[in-house]
Amino acid sequence: MTTSRLATLVAFLALGIATVFLLPKGGEQPAGIVMALPDFVGNWKGTDAEMTAAERETLGEATGTRFARKTYRNLEGYEIMVSIVLSGHDMSTAIHRPERCLQAQGWTLQEADHFAMPLTQHGTFPIAQLRSTRVVKQGDAAATRELETFYWFVGEKDICAGHWSRWAIDNRDRLFRGVSQRWAYILVSAGVPAVPDAKSSEALRKWADHAMREFIRILAPKIHLDSVRYD
């Protein structure tokens, strides 16, 4: 009985491996994102910002990864940074969860959430939101800095905001379409200005949250192509 079951298992695994070669052949999907950030997003003015050499190497520029980054400032002097990373031939290098990068940069994740961003005449799409803190030394003293981060992934037609949902879409397309998704990763981040008391800090955090969501609501239709589908 044991030998029979083992033979059945081996045959099943061999069949599964063989089906890979029966999948239709296809090329990379076209991207669903514009790799040129707008100069203005509402009343925020953008200035080109360079990816560092370390970022370019780590994210696989040599394998075709493409980048776009701008720093946006409003009339009050607040800043929002936007980065787009479009995967090349090695998606596992270019596309990843930002929690990894934030931790490597010394940030400690405090809160994580997901929500649906509504776009007029389009529908909604998912976004992940992170709040992180980092202790910065100032002479003999130390201050806590806070960072608000929003991110989402865009394929040819699909939008998602999680590793497993992106994994499911990838496997669906490989199995039924014989193509490999080419994902773009959009990151929107801003530091929350430090204030001396907790009450003002909470009010400023709420303002920053609202301002960044409104910023994304205006930005998204400018960088998503018409091929992208909304909920």
pLDDT above 70 coverage of the chain, percent: 83
**26-44 pLDDT per residue, tens:** 455 678 999 999 999 999 9
- Strand 108-119 and strand 79-86: the pairing is unpaired
pLDDT, average across residues 39-54: 92
Residue 208: per-residue pLDDT: 87
**56-114 pLDDT per residue, tens:** 787 777 778 898 999 999 998 899 999 999 987 766 666 777 777 787 777 888 889 99
227, pLDDT greater than 80: yes
Residue 78: per-residue pLDDT: 92
Phi, psi of 128 (to 5 degrees): -100, 145
Domain ranges, ordered by start, for the chain: 29-223
**Band of the pLDDT at 17, cuts 50, 70, 90?**
very low
Among 72, 107, 115, 80, which Cα is nearest to 208's? Answer: 80
**210-224 pLDDT per residue, tens:** 999 999 999 999 999
Residue 3: per-residue pLDDT: 58
Residue 216: per-residue pLDDT: 97
**161-181 pLDDT per residue, tens:** 988 888 888 888 778 877 777
Residue 24: per-residue pLDDT: 42
pLDDT, average across residues 201-212: 85
